[in-house]
């Protein structure tokens, strides 16, 4: 899949034989402040939202046993540039310091996801065959205060153990798209987040 929104600048990564700075995921508290989060949340439109779908072998299918949530997309129009620019800057900085991948821009529009009671996303990777094979980094931003919902943790599988990511409002979490992760079922309330994918040339 071609890059949907290229970065304004492309990094020149200087690689060594080994990457001693690699981590499983990076948390950026306060990537968006409370007022900015509220502005993003106003973009949600129930009329535009649809049931989540999962791409399998390049085909969008309904896999209710794998994921249950509602999603819509943030158009890359001028009034939303600040959101894309903020996340591009965060991804470029984190990538330079930690992952050192060849990345060139957003693979698709940013996604707004809403998880209500009993909604979930089972263990999965964002990287795979077909139109997701050029994903390098995934990013998610917490748009709900932890007091607004119960459970619904974003978790990563690291050495056969599940680790929950921070849930503080406005926190951005960046991780390799090949990392195994899930969203636990929401017990009550509503969890909202931004989800995005950063692409580039195939891994080599």
Q: What is the DSSP string of 51-96?
A: E--EEETTEEE--TTTEE-EEEEE---GGGHHHHHHHHHHHHHHII
- In a domain, residue 9? The reply is no
Residue range 30-51, pLDDT digits in tens? 999 999 999 999 999 999 999 9
Spatial distance between the Cα atoms of 49 and 190, rounded to a whole number of angstroms:
15
Least confident of 11-25, 54-68, 85-99: 54-68
- In a domain, residue 54? The reply is no
- In a domain, residue 131? The reply is yes
* Residue 23 banded pLDDT, cuts 50, 70, 90: very high
Q: What is the pLDDT of residue 176?
A: 98
b/e burial code for range 57-95 (CB count within 10 A of at least 16 → b): eeeeeeeeebbbbbbbebeeeeebeebbeebbebbbebb
The kind and range of the H/E element at 35 are helix 34-41
Number of independent structural domains in the chain: 1
Range of the domain at 117: 23-46+68-199
Maximum distance among all Cα pairs of the chain, rounded to whole angstroms: 50
- In a domain, residue 77? The reply is yes
- In a domain, residue 104? The reply is yes
Which residues are registered as beta bridge partners of 156? Answer: 163, 181
* Residue 61 banded pLDDT, cuts 50, 70, 90: low
Residue range 130-141, pLDDT digits in tens? 989 999 999 999
Q: What is the pLDDT of residue 182?
A: 98
- In a domain, residue 132? The reply is yes
Average pLDDT over residues 102-116: 97
Whats the size of the chain, residue-wise?
A: 204
Percent of the chain scored above 70 by pLDDT?
Answer: 94
Task: Report which of residues 54 and 153 the model is more confident about.
Answer: 153
Q: What is the pLDDT of residue 54?
A: 66
Q: What is the pLDDT of residue 16?
A: 76
- In a domain, residue 61? The reply is no
Average pLDDT over residues 164-172: 98
- In a domain, residue 134? The reply is yes
CATH code for position 107: 2.60.120.620
In 3D space, the residue among 154, 135, 1 whose CA is nearest the CA of residue 69 turns out to be: 154
**Does residue 159 sit in helix, strand or coil?**
coil
């Amino acid at each position: 899949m071609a890059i949907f929104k290229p970065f304004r600048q492309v990094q020149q990564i200087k690689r060594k034989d080994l990457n001693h700075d690699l981590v499983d995921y990076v948390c950026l508290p306060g990537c968006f402040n409370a007022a900015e989060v509220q502005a993003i949340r106003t973009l949600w439109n129930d009329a535009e939202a649809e049931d989540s779908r999962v791409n399998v072998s390049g085909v969008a299918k309904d896999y209710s046993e794998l994921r249950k949530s509602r999603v819509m997309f943030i158009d890359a129009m001028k009034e939303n540039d600040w959101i894309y620019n903020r996340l591009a800057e965060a991804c470029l900085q984190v990538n330079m310091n930690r992952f050192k991948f060849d990345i060139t821009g957003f693979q698709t529009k940013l996604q707004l996801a809403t998880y209500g009671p009993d909604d979930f996303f089972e263990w999965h990777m964002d990287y795979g065959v077909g139109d997701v094979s050029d994903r390098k980094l995934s990013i998610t931003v917490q748009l709900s205060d932890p007091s607004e919902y119960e459970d619904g943790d974003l978790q990563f599988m690291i050495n056969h153990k599940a680790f929950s990511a921070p849930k503080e409002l406005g926190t951005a979490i960046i991780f390799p798209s090949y990392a195994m992760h899930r969203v636990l079922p929401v017990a009550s309330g509503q969890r909202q987040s931004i989800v995005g994918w950063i692409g580039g040339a195939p891994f080599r």
